[in-house]
Amino acid sequence: MSLFTQEGFLFLLRWIHFLAGITWIGILYYLNFVQTPYFATDLGGQARSAMMRGLVPNALWWFRWGAMVTFLTGWLIVITHMVTGTGSMPYYALILTGGTLGSFMWFNVWFVIMPRQRLAIASAEAVAAGGQANPEAAKQAPFAGRASRTNTLFSIPMLFFMGAARHLTIVNEEMPKYGAFFAIMLVLVVLFETNIFKGTAATQKPLATVAGTIHAGLGLTLVLFVAASVLL
């Protein structure tokens, strides 16, 4: 059977990668496009405590493990291509761009968003039990919110370059400048990551709204596409 071949192994990895990725990004978009704006309404504010103790922990379980499986299977696919010699430099240039963005997103989920969401959930449970809210939860909430919006922003170019790796010709120069392109990409990504914790009111303003986040994501996609078109 073709599934028990190298090609079949890669297919199964991609299938699992797609399933996990849809779960992860789907919940990411739900949290940012639906739940967060809803919590800002009067009705959402009334439902917030119950949702934080019931719906949110369940959603976050699928969210973090979807991110983990997506991360692991994605890098397994790339490593398998490298080991077997079935990839090409144009493929690696584009898939690693998407993979780098996805890896920063995974890091944000596990090490920025989840610790702060656990604080928020524990605080909501304490209040529901008649105790006091944890002031640290409120202090840390903006960082989790900006990390989640940054992940939404990153997801736009991440999906573009992952799709482009197999379905769009960008790398066509005889002497592509891979180093220069990846240096530009990493500098931009690090700047966005730094903005989560140390940004100014002006740099963090786009992340305050869904529209601003989407526009910033499209802008980053355009900048990276132009850089890839010129340098690769």
Sequence spans of domains, the chain:
2-231
What is the distance between the alpha carbons of residues 51 and 69, in angstroms, rounded to a whole number?
26
pTM: 0.94
pLDDT digits (tens, 9 = 90+) for 200-224: 999 999 999 999 999 999 999 999 9
Q: Tell me, rounded to whole angstroms, the distance of Cα 188 from its chain centroid.
A: 15
8 A C-beta contact, residue 161 and residue 224: yes
Question: CB neighbours of 22 closer than 8 A, spacing ≥ 6?
Answer: none
Q: For tokens 């992952």, name the residue.
A: 162
What is the distance between the alpha carbons of residues 92 and 85, in angstroms, rounded to a whole number?
11
pLDDT digits (tens, 9 = 90+) for 49-81: 999 999 999 999 999 999 999 999 999 999 998
8 A C-beta contact, residue 115 and residue 64: no
